[in-house]
Amino acid sequence: KAGVTQTPRYLIKTRGQQVTLSCSPISGHRSVSWYQQTPGQGLQFLFEYFSETQRNKGNFPGRFSGRQFSNSRSEMNVSTLELGDSALYLCASSSRGQTKGEQFFGPGTRLTVL
């Protein structure tokens, strides 16, 4: 099976702009989660989508939003970018519905806000 893919891998934006990141999960996986990784903060949970519905949401402002399509692909959008949004954004897919299971991560999108 192909792994989780994320596009683009690198992105440079300026303050005030908006950005859309894309994630394609492993085939058959219906759960997609997004995380923000910054030095010293580890992986901060953004949100999880399952079958096109947002199932969980972390403590991020409303500028961060996402969606999932019928083919389980997911996008994450950040509007009105701030310097502090510079981070590695990781997407993870899982086959779990209400059961537990490990997540499979993509390589991430490195976002730099200037």
Partner 1 sequence: DQQVKQNSPSLSVQEGRISILNCDYTNSMFDYFLWYKKYPAEGPTFLISISSIKDKNEDGRFTVFLNKSAKHLSLHIVPSQPGDSAVYFCAASDPSNNNDMRFGAGTRLTVKP
Residue numbers of the site for partner 1 (CB under 8 A)?
A: 4, 33, 35, 40-45, 48, 50, 55-56, 59, 90, 92, 96, 98-100, 102-108
Nearer to partner 1, 55 or 79 (CB): 55
Q: Do 114 and 106 form a contact (C-beta atoms < 8 A)?
A: no
Q: Which amino acid is at 23?
A: C
Cis bond before residue 8 (omega within 30° of 0):
yes
Nearer to partner 1, 31 or 81 (CB): 31
Least distance in angstroms from the C-beta of 26 to partner 1: 12
Least distance in angstroms from the C-beta of 83 to partner 1: 21
Least distance in angstroms from the C-beta of 45 to partner 1: 6
